[in-house]
Amino acid sequence: MSNDIAEIFPAFTDEELRQQITDECTIRRTSAGTTLMEMGQYVKSIPLITEGRVKVFREDDDGHELFLYYLEPGEGCAMSFACTLHNQTSQVKAVAMEDTEFISVPVGLIPDWMSKYKSWYRFVIETYQARFEELLSTPDSIAFQRMDERLISYLKKSSEVLETRVLKLPHQEIAYELNTSREVISRLLKKIEKDGFVSLGRNRIEPVDL
DNA sequence: ACATTAAGTGATT
DNA sequence: AATCACTTAATGT
Protein backbone atom coordinates (compact mmCIF):
# COMPACT_ATOMS: atom_id res chain seq x y z
CA MET A 1 0.00 0.00 0.00
CA SER A 2 2.78 2.36 0.93
CA ASN A 3 4.17 1.77 -2.52
CA ASP A 4 0.88 2.70 -4.15
CA ILE A 5 0.81 5.99 -2.30
CA ALA A 6 4.30 6.85 -3.43
CA GLU A 7 3.26 5.99 -6.96
CA ILE A 8 0.02 7.94 -7.15
CA PHE A 9 1.10 10.77 -4.87
CA PRO A 10 4.78 11.27 -5.60
CA ALA A 11 4.52 14.65 -3.89
CA PHE A 12 4.32 12.97 -0.47
CA THR A 13 8.01 12.61 0.11
CA ASP A 14 7.89 12.42 3.91
CA GLU A 15 8.16 8.79 4.89
CA GLU A 16 6.30 9.52 8.10
CA LEU A 17 3.45 11.12 6.18
CA ARG A 18 3.04 8.06 4.01
CA GLN A 19 3.07 5.95 7.14
CA GLN A 20 0.36 8.14 8.67
CA ILE A 21 -1.76 7.69 5.59
CA THR A 22 -1.55 3.92 5.73
CA ASP A 23 -2.12 3.84 9.49
CA GLU A 24 -4.74 6.52 10.06
CA CYS A 25 -6.71 6.74 6.84
CA THR A 26 -9.13 4.38 5.20
CA ILE A 27 -9.52 3.37 1.59
CA ARG A 28 -13.03 3.87 0.29
CA ARG A 29 -14.67 2.81 -2.94
CA THR A 30 -17.82 4.12 -4.54
CA SER A 31 -19.57 3.28 -7.75
CA ALA A 32 -20.28 5.68 -10.59
CA GLY A 33 -23.09 8.13 -9.85
CA THR A 34 -22.66 8.16 -6.08
CA THR A 35 -22.89 11.55 -4.40
CA LEU A 36 -19.86 11.94 -2.18
CA MET A 37 -20.67 15.38 -0.84
CA GLU A 38 -23.77 17.54 -0.69
CA MET A 39 -23.76 21.31 -0.41
CA GLY A 40 -24.08 22.41 3.19
CA GLN A 41 -22.78 19.17 4.58
CA TYR A 42 -19.97 19.19 7.12
CA VAL A 43 -16.64 17.99 5.87
CA LYS A 44 -15.37 15.29 8.18
CA SER A 45 -12.85 13.73 5.90
CA ILE A 46 -11.09 14.80 2.77
CA PRO A 47 -10.59 12.60 -0.26
CA LEU A 48 -7.35 11.83 -2.03
CA ILE A 49 -8.33 10.21 -5.30
CA THR A 50 -6.47 7.06 -6.23
CA GLU A 51 -8.70 5.81 -9.00
CA GLY A 52 -11.62 7.04 -11.09
CA ARG A 53 -13.03 10.52 -11.47
CA VAL A 54 -15.18 12.89 -9.42
CA LYS A 55 -17.10 15.91 -10.62
CA VAL A 56 -17.19 18.90 -8.30
CA PHE A 57 -19.83 21.56 -8.90
CA ARG A 58 -22.23 24.01 -7.34
CA GLU A 59 -25.96 23.64 -7.63
CA ASP A 60 -28.72 26.23 -7.37
CA ASP A 61 -32.30 25.83 -6.18
CA ASP A 62 -33.58 24.86 -9.60
CA GLY A 63 -31.04 22.13 -10.00
CA HIS A 64 -28.88 24.13 -12.39
CA GLU A 65 -25.29 23.25 -11.91
CA LEU A 66 -22.13 25.23 -12.22
CA PHE A 67 -19.24 22.97 -13.02
CA LEU A 68 -16.07 23.67 -11.09
CA TYR A 69 -13.57 20.92 -11.74
CA TYR A 70 -12.85 17.23 -11.96
CA LEU A 71 -10.85 15.32 -9.38
CA GLU A 72 -8.56 12.72 -10.84
CA PRO A 73 -6.12 10.18 -9.42
CA GLY A 74 -3.31 11.91 -7.57
CA GLU A 75 -5.47 14.87 -6.64
CA GLY A 76 -7.14 16.15 -3.51
CA CYS A 77 -10.11 18.46 -3.26
CA ALA A 78 -9.28 22.13 -2.82
CA MET A 79 -12.75 22.91 -1.46
CA SER A 80 -12.42 20.37 1.30
CA PHE A 81 -9.06 21.81 2.33
CA ALA A 82 -10.67 25.20 2.58
CA CYS A 83 -13.56 23.83 4.61
CA THR A 84 -11.42 22.00 7.13
CA LEU A 85 -9.21 25.02 7.71
CA HIS A 86 -12.19 27.27 8.37
CA ASN A 87 -14.45 24.60 9.77
CA GLN A 88 -17.18 25.47 7.29
CA THR A 89 -19.75 23.32 5.58
CA SER A 90 -19.19 22.33 1.99
CA GLN A 91 -20.10 24.89 -0.65
CA VAL A 92 -20.00 22.31 -3.39
CA LYS A 93 -21.43 19.00 -4.39
CA ALA A 94 -19.30 16.08 -5.52
CA VAL A 95 -20.42 13.11 -7.55
CA ALA A 96 -18.37 10.13 -8.70
CA MET A 97 -18.40 9.97 -12.47
CA GLU A 98 -16.76 6.57 -12.58
CA ASP A 99 -16.20 3.81 -10.09
CA THR A 100 -13.86 5.65 -7.80
CA GLU A 101 -11.40 4.75 -5.09
CA PHE A 102 -10.00 7.27 -2.67
CA ILE A 103 -8.12 7.66 0.57
CA SER A 104 -10.30 9.18 3.22
CA VAL A 105 -8.33 11.46 5.50
CA PRO A 106 -10.02 12.40 8.79
CA VAL A 107 -10.02 16.20 9.10
CA GLY A 108 -8.57 15.99 12.58
CA LEU A 109 -5.22 15.03 11.12
CA ILE A 110 -4.95 17.94 8.75
CA PRO A 111 -3.77 20.77 11.05
CA ASP A 112 -1.06 18.49 12.37
CA TRP A 113 0.03 17.47 8.89
CA MET A 114 0.13 21.06 7.72
CA SER A 115 2.76 21.99 10.29
CA LYS A 116 4.58 18.69 10.41
CA TYR A 117 5.02 17.68 6.81
CA LYS A 118 6.46 20.06 4.31
CA SER A 119 5.45 17.86 1.39
CA TRP A 120 1.83 17.86 2.54
CA TYR A 121 1.87 21.62 2.94
CA ARG A 122 3.20 22.01 -0.59
CA PHE A 123 0.63 19.59 -1.92
CA VAL A 124 -2.16 21.69 -0.46
CA ILE A 125 -0.75 24.94 -1.81
CA GLU A 126 -0.25 23.45 -5.23
CA THR A 127 -3.76 22.05 -5.26
CA TYR A 128 -5.09 25.49 -4.43
CA GLN A 129 -3.05 27.17 -7.09
CA ALA A 130 -4.05 24.74 -9.81
CA ARG A 131 -7.76 25.09 -9.00
CA PHE A 132 -7.60 28.82 -8.74
CA GLU A 133 -6.15 29.14 -12.18
CA GLU A 134 -8.66 26.73 -13.59
CA LEU A 135 -11.55 28.56 -11.99
CA LEU A 136 -10.50 31.82 -13.55
CA SER A 137 -11.27 30.39 -16.95
CA THR A 138 -14.95 29.95 -16.10
CA PRO A 139 -15.95 33.63 -15.77
CA ASP A 140 -13.75 34.34 -18.75
CA SER A 141 -15.62 31.88 -20.90
CA ILE A 142 -19.02 33.12 -19.81
CA ALA A 143 -18.10 36.74 -20.37
CA PHE A 144 -16.17 36.42 -23.57
CA GLN A 145 -17.33 33.32 -25.39
CA ARG A 146 -20.55 32.70 -27.17
CA MET A 147 -22.47 29.56 -26.49
CA ASP A 148 -21.28 27.74 -29.60
CA GLU A 149 -17.65 28.38 -28.67
CA ARG A 150 -18.26 27.19 -25.16
CA LEU A 151 -19.85 24.03 -26.51
CA ILE A 152 -16.92 23.30 -28.77
CA SER A 153 -14.36 23.76 -26.01
CA TYR A 154 -16.50 21.61 -23.75
CA LEU A 155 -16.49 18.83 -26.32
CA LYS A 156 -12.77 19.17 -26.80
CA LYS A 157 -12.08 18.96 -23.12
CA SER A 158 -14.43 16.04 -22.60
CA SER A 159 -12.86 13.93 -25.28
CA GLU A 160 -9.45 14.69 -23.83
CA VAL A 161 -10.39 13.88 -20.27
CA LEU A 162 -12.36 10.77 -21.11
CA GLU A 163 -9.74 9.61 -23.57
CA THR A 164 -12.34 8.51 -26.03
CA ARG A 165 -13.24 9.53 -29.52
CA VAL A 166 -16.93 8.94 -29.13
CA LEU A 167 -18.72 10.76 -26.34
CA LYS A 168 -21.65 8.87 -24.95
CA LEU A 169 -23.79 11.44 -23.22
CA PRO A 170 -27.21 13.02 -23.73
CA HIS A 171 -27.61 16.63 -24.82
CA GLN A 172 -29.40 17.36 -21.58
CA GLU A 173 -26.28 16.60 -19.59
CA ILE A 174 -24.20 19.00 -21.63
CA ALA A 175 -26.91 21.59 -21.17
CA TYR A 176 -26.72 21.25 -17.39
CA GLU A 177 -22.98 21.63 -17.39
CA LEU A 178 -23.01 24.72 -19.56
CA ASN A 179 -26.06 26.16 -17.79
CA THR A 180 -28.22 26.31 -20.86
CA SER A 181 -31.20 24.43 -22.19
CA ARG A 182 -31.23 21.13 -23.98
CA GLU A 183 -32.78 22.68 -27.07
CA VAL A 184 -29.94 25.13 -27.46
CA ILE A 185 -27.38 22.33 -27.29
CA SER A 186 -29.33 20.25 -29.80
CA ARG A 187 -29.52 23.13 -32.24
CA LEU A 188 -25.89 24.09 -31.89
CA LEU A 189 -24.79 20.49 -32.29
CA LYS A 190 -26.89 20.25 -35.41
CA LYS A 191 -25.20 23.34 -36.74
CA ILE A 192 -21.65 22.20 -36.06
CA GLU A 193 -22.55 18.81 -37.50
CA LYS A 194 -23.50 20.55 -40.72
CA ASP A 195 -20.17 22.32 -40.64
CA GLY A 196 -18.48 18.93 -40.34
CA PHE A 197 -17.02 19.25 -36.85
CA VAL A 198 -18.88 16.34 -35.30
CA SER A 199 -21.00 13.37 -36.21
CA LEU A 200 -24.10 12.77 -34.16
CA GLY A 201 -26.21 9.84 -33.05
CA ARG A 202 -28.52 9.08 -30.20
CA ASN A 203 -26.46 9.33 -27.05
CA ARG A 204 -23.40 9.67 -29.22
CA ILE A 205 -21.23 12.57 -30.24
CA GLU A 206 -18.11 11.96 -32.24
CA PRO A 207 -15.80 14.90 -32.69
CA VAL A 208 -14.43 14.82 -36.22
CA ASP A 209 -12.51 18.02 -36.55
CA LEU A 210 -12.60 20.35 -33.59
C1' DA B 1 -46.03 -4.00 -29.25
C1' DC B 2 -45.57 -0.66 -25.79
C1' DA B 3 -43.39 2.50 -22.65
C1' DT B 4 -39.51 5.28 -21.94
C1' DT B 5 -36.03 8.35 -23.04
C1' DA B 6 -33.36 11.21 -26.39
C1' DA B 7 -33.47 14.43 -29.97
C1' DG B 8 -35.58 17.75 -33.43
C1' DT B 9 -38.51 21.82 -34.38
C1' DG B 10 -41.52 25.98 -34.49
C1' DA B 11 -43.42 29.60 -31.97
C1' DT B 12 -43.01 33.02 -28.41
C1' DT B 13 -40.64 36.10 -25.42
C1' DA C 1 -30.70 32.38 -25.64
C1' DA C 2 -34.64 30.47 -22.79
C1' DT C 3 -38.98 28.22 -22.45
C1' DC C 4 -42.97 25.76 -24.04
C1' DA C 5 -45.39 22.59 -26.54
C1' DC C 6 -45.25 19.17 -29.52
C1' DT C 7 -43.30 15.65 -32.89
C1' DT C 8 -40.20 12.10 -34.27
C1' DA C 9 -36.93 8.58 -33.50
C1' DA C 10 -34.23 5.15 -30.94
C1' DT C 11 -34.03 1.84 -27.26
C1' DG C 12 -35.31 -1.28 -23.52
C1' DT C 13 -38.74 -4.75 -21.72
- Give the pLDDT confidence of A190-208 residue by residue, as tens digits: 999 988 888 898 899 988 7
Hey, is A75 helix, strand or coil?
Answer: coil
pLDDT in tens, A110-131: 999 999 999 999 999 999 999 9
Nucleotides of B under 7 A from a protein CB: 5-11
The mean pLDDT of A164-189, rounded to a whole number, is 90
The mean pLDDT of A176-184, rounded to a whole number, is 92
The residue lying closest to nucleotide C2, measuring its CA against C1', is: A181
Strand A198-201 relative to strand A204-207, pairing: antiparallel
User: In whole angstroms, how far apart are CA A26 and each of A37, A43, A185?
Assistant: 17, 16, 41
Instruction: Return d(Cα A56, Cα A66) in angstroms, integer.
Output: 9
Instruction: Return d(Cα A165, Cα A180) in angstroms, integer.
Output: 24
Any strand B atom closer than 7 Å to A200 CB: yes
Task: Provide the percentage of residues in chain A whose pLDDT is more than 90.
Answer: 53
Nucleotides of C under 7 A from a protein CB: 1-5, 10-11
Q: Between the CA of A188 and the C1' of B11, what is the distance in angstroms?
A: 18
Ranked by mean pLDDT, the top range of A85-89, A140-144, A163-167, A180-184 is A180-184
pLDDT grade, residue A163 (50/70/90)?
low
Of A56, A93, A91, which Cα lies nearest the Cα of A72?
Answer: A56
**What's the whole-model pTM score?**
0.76
Using only C-alpha atoms, chain A has a radius of gyration, in whole angstroms, of 19
Of A135, A136, A137, A149, which Cα lies nearest the Cα of A180?
Answer: A149
The mean pLDDT of A39-51, rounded to a whole number, is 92
The mean pLDDT of A138-161, rounded to a whole number, is 83
Any strand C atom closer than 7 Å to A112 CB: no
Any strand C atom closer than 7 Å to A184 CB: yes
pLDDT grade, residue A167 (50/70/90)?
confident
Nearest DNA or RNA nucleotide to A187 (CA to C1'):
B8
Q: Between the CA of A91 and the C1' of B8, what is the distance in angstroms?
A: 37
Instruction: Write phi, then psi, for A2 (nearest 5 degrees).
Output: -55, -35
CB-based contacts of A180-187 (< 8 A; 24+ apart in sequence): A180/A147, A184/A147, A185/A151
Any strand C atom closer than 7 Å to A8 CB: no
Any strand B atom closer than 7 Å to A183 CB: yes
